[in-house]
Amino acid sequence: MADRSDRRTTMLEAAARVIARRGVRGLRVEELAAEAGVSTALIYYHFKNRQGILRATLDFINDRAESYTTSRDPDAPPLDARGELEQTLLLEFQDTATVRENSTAWGELRASAVFDPDLREDLARATLVWDQEVAELLGKVHPMAGAGALAQAAERLTALLEGLSTRWLSGSLPLAHARALMSEAIDVELSRLGGAVTRS
Amino acid sequence: MADRSDRRTTMLEAAARVIARRGVRGLRVEELAAEAGVSTALIYYHFKNRQGILRATLDFINDRAESYTTSRDPDAPPLDARGELEQTLLLEFQDTATVRENSTAWGELRASAVFDPDLREDLARATLVWDQEVAELLGKVHPMAGAGALAQAAERLTALLEGLSTRWLSGSLPLAHARALMSEAIDVELSRLGGAVTRS
DNA sequence: GTCTATAGCTAGATAGAC
DNA sequence: GTCTATCTAGCTATAGAC
């Protein structure tokens, strides 16, 4: 949409980095200003207040996650349904700056919502959309599975992803191990759906 | 050990309530003092500083979780292995003050550790112990399953529990639904272990 | 749009009396 | 052990010049 290298974008990228380093609740406007190479006053000029910074940054991060989850190398061979599912769920377990920033921010959003009712509605909506996407992908692999079974499997997989991701980021679980557990969970759920198509 | 109704315990109970309300990072010493009905100076007298408050409270909460997870009504009929497993994993999904406080505090500890390396070691150790307990219970249900498969199933179940718990507490998932998903996940993992005892 | 400077407030921590 | 009073630091937010 807008020019991706304008100053506002620079600040949002800086905000994503600071949040990944300090958390949503550890973000200090002064540190953000230093990270972006601008004054605190300019931050307030663009984002009104602390809450405005957070809202804009979380939108920015959401858009970014959408792009790295959805878009793929156009030269790569097209993925089958199962490959698409695995890509969607395993892409979150990569130790790159962008993915780390996004996962951290998402985890923070989730954790902050426990104490901040203002965040809950947006979060619940985003969660619902995500769960439905995963349910749809599961349905492509097992077209005969019931809608209820698909929805539940999707919810378990996305909730597991959040749990594993937080364990990874908090140093309780090596990244490769988290990936392996997620991958195996996909197998477990898929074989369940395949073996019991009439259930539920 | 010590007198359970002494003033220090009163402060710890108050701290658990305040953390459940505001989060670890939202805890203000003044609010805690008010909640406990004492002065801020007394808090500092007993716990040295903010970090000391957090450490003591998290120990306190850990002990409390241990007791409600482990102990049972002595008159109730003894549980079989599967019942014990379900009890361990489903007890976290109860809307009572104590469980809510414990789950909230545990989630906060987990989320805080992403940004606070001091917390990581304790947390990783506690996670390991918990995973092993669950693996042991799974092994009681399926004595022929391999140790690796048991360990992985346990890690998936406890990580899922954390993910579902945070969704519950952040208002993205009704409690009954979280329970149902957890319960079904136990079934899924158990049938997997039962159907593939020689795997891994 | 962007900066420097600073007002104003909140919250952690301590001094000293009882 | 416990309180009242207060010191101090750090942070959000704004005023005003350029």
Spell out which residues of chain B touch residue A114, defining contact as CB-CB under 8 Å: 23, 104, 107-108, 166, 169-170
If pLDDT is split at 50, 70 and 90, which confidence band does B4 have? low
Query: Tokens at residue A89, please?
Result: 């769920």
CB contact under 8 A, A162 and B166: yes
**Dihedral sign computed on CA atoms, order A17, A21, A23, A27:** negative
- CB distance B153 to B135 below 8 Å: yes
If pLDDT is split at 50, 70 and 90, which confidence band does B77 have? confident
Whether residue A95 sits in one domain with residue A56: no
B109-119 per-position pLDDT tens digit: 899 999 988 78
Q: What is the mean pLDDT of residues A6-12?
A: 95
Interface test with A, best of B155, B175, B179, B193 (most A CBs within 10 A): B155
Interface of A with B (CB under 8 A): 21-23, 25-26, 104, 107-108, 110-115, 117, 119-120, 123-124, 127, 152, 155-156, 158-164, 166-167, 169-173, 180-181, 184-185, 188-189, 191-192
Whether residue B123 sits in one domain with residue B78: yes
Last residue of a domain, one of B71, B99, B125: B71
CB contact under 8 A, B161 and A163: yes
Whether residue A103 sits in one domain with residue A177: yes
- CB distance B104 to B116 below 8 Å: no
**Nearest nt by C1' to A30 Cα:** D11
- How many structural domains comprise chain B? 2
The count of residues in chain B is 200
In this complex, which protein residues place their C-beta within 7 A of any atom belonging to strand C?
A 7, 37-42, 45-46; B 27-30, 40-41, 44, 49-51
Query: Tokens at residue A168, please?
Result: 């990874």
Pairwise CA distance, residues A164 & A154, whole Å? 15
Which pLDDT score, from 0 to 100, does residue B198 have? 44
Last residue of a domain, one of B71, B92, B119: B71
Contacting residues for A70 by C-beta, under 8 A, at least 6 apart = none
Contacting residues for B110 by C-beta, under 8 A, at least 6 apart = A166, A167, A170, B123, B162
A126: nearest CA in chain B?
A: B172
A72-113 per-position pLDDT tens digit: 788 888 889 999 999 999 999 999 999 999 999 899 989 999
Pairwise CA distance, residues A83 & A100, whole Å? 22
Last residue of a domain, one of B71, B86, B119: B71
What amino acid is encoded at A171 in this protein?
G
Give the angle subtended at the CA of B66 by the CAs of B159 and B149, to the nearest 5°.
35
CB contact under 8 A, B120 and A170: yes
CATH number of the domain where residue A55 is located: 1.10.10.60
Query: Tokens at residue A5, please?
Result: 């290298």
A67 is a domain residue: no
pLDDT at residue B2 above 90?
no
If pLDDT is split at 50, 70 and 90, which confidence band does A5 have? low
A81 is a domain residue: yes
pLDDT at residue B188 above 90?
yes
Whether residue B158 sits in one domain with residue B79: yes
Spell out which residues of chain B touch residue A113, defining contact as CB-CB under 8 Å: 170-172
pLDDT at residue A198 above 80?
no
CATH number of the domain where residue A191 is located: 1.10.357.10
pLDDT at residue A16 above 80?
yes
Pairwise CA distance, residues A172 & B56, whole Å? 21
Q: What is the mean pLDDT of residues B10-19?
A: 97
Q: Which domain holds residue B100?
A: 74-200
pLDDT at residue A69 above 80?
no
Pairwise CA distance, residues A144 & A142, whole Å? 5
B119-158 per-position pLDDT tens digit: 898 889 999 999 999 999 999 999 999 999 999 999 999 9
Q: What is the mean pLDDT of residues B68-82?
A: 84
A58 is a domain residue: yes
Whether residue A39 sits in one domain with residue A112: no
Spell out which residues of chain B touch residue A185, defining contact as CB-CB under 8 Å: 156
CB contact under 8 A, A159 and B155: no
Greatest CA span in chain B, whole angstroms? 61
Q: How far out from the chain centre does Cα A7 lie?
A: 25
Whether residue B199 sits in one domain with residue B179: yes
Query: Tokens at residue A119, please?
Result: 């965040």
Whether residue A190 sits in one domain with residue A94: yes
Whether residue B80 sits in one domain with residue B53: no
Query: Tokens at residue B9, please?
Result: 């315990």
CA distance A124 to chain B (A): 5
Q: What is the DSSP string of B16-65?
A: HHHHHHH-TTT--HHHHHHHHTS-HHHHHHHHSSHHHHHHHHHHHHHHHH
Whether residue A29 sits in one domain with residue A122: no
Which pLDDT score, from 0 to 100, does residue A197 have? 45
Q: Chain D bases under 7 Å from protein CB?
A: 1-6, 10-16
Whether residue B66 sits in one domain with residue B92: no
Whether residue B127 sits in one domain with residue B56: no
